[in-house]
Structure 1
Amino acid sequence: MNVLIVEDDLRIAEINRRFVEKVPGYKVIGIATDQAQAQEQLEILRPDLVMLDIFFPDMNGLDLLRYIKEHHRETDVIMITASKEVGTVEDALRSGVFDFIVKPLVFERFQKTLLRFQEYRGKLDRLKTERVQIEQEEIDRLLHSQGEKKDSYLPKGIDTLTLEKITGVIAAERVGLTAEAVGRQIGVSRSTARRYLEFLVSKDQVTADLSYGDVGRPERVYRGVYSG
């Protein structure tokens, strides 16, 4: 990842450079201290990532952020600034900044962002070379789960593969199934199937009704939620 640092304080710029190059896979290819230098180096160097301050004698870093988003769409931006105003943070986020880090820079926090960005760009580049369209789950991981496990958005005891199997069984059977019947079809216990089915009920993807048979206690019968 090639990085351009845009910072008018050369001492701070050097600290940022050292921090960047402590993270494997990153290289600082330029340092700009004003608007003219920043725009020139953006045009010549085409960096993957810009480390951008807000306060400059001749410009506002938020204006440069919007310039980058308009003219250099392949370049991402991380704000590194002493500004803590809510309006400034909101403006940066709405303008498409990847992250917003408040000075003084803490390396552990900074490293976490660079690793997350590296993972994000790697996934995005692979998807662009492999296909034209993208599935919702992949979009969710790009937007929300950089640096997290694939199943981190699911509660403990629920994994994606089993959940997909149970969802498929319910979707294929409109008359309704008990947890025991679902478990038999996918090869899990009744209690496991019920745990997944109740999770789907909590997400309004499955409904549950009581079925009163001739013998024994009533059983819960699960059906998919269908539109139309």
Structure 2
Amino acid sequence: MAGKIPDLEVEARAGTGKGAARAARRNGMVPGIVYGGGQDPQPIQIPFNSLLKQLRAGRYMSTLQNMKIEGHDDVRVICRNVQRDLVKDLPTHIDFMRLNRTTKINLFIHVDVVGEDVSPGLKKGGTLTLVRPEVELMVTAGDIPDSITIDVSEAEVGDNITISSVKLPDGAKATIDRDFVIATLSAPSSLKSAGEDEDEDGEDGESAEVPTVDETTEE
């Protein structure tokens, strides 16, 4: 499960609209909004450099944070949208949603892999491919997992690891209602090539067999 909820210090933003947003950016801030939780939307702004560092660290959209605004009670939030400059790909606006511990929310959760060192399929030279490095789950805001784990310690070449083989955290549920594949363990490319060559040789070298016909007939 997720550890201590990190603090997110932001400032209340007095104005709204394009003019106020441009002014915030000129002052090295990224304008944003906090909504939900049965309260009115709250305009905010975050230091650009601080936000950019957190975004580059990864998994920002699936991290529950404790938002601190001077003069307001702390509130748990999660980022729901980051608007970016189309040319520079830098954040220009950010949206947060207020949560309580029991709020259900869809998040993409990172997939960890264990058992690679003892997997018989990998020892034979197989290749493990993560089809889904992240899996979308419906989780409870108070129990957001850092990751889910797939175990390949007994996986053979040709095996698929699906969501049904994963022990999900309490209260979590996959958003896709089918047993989808998370990872595959495929044969080594050398074995694939050898098999393909054998098939081609067999097709080219086969001589057409003439069926024998019994020409004697019973009278």
More helix by share: 1
TM-score with structure 2 setting the length: 0.29
More strand by share: 2
Q: Whose radius of gyration is greater, 1 or 2?
A: 2
TM-score with structure 1 setting the length: 0.28
Give the structure, 1 or 2, with the largest relative contact order (CA under 8 Å, sep 6 or more).
Answer: 2
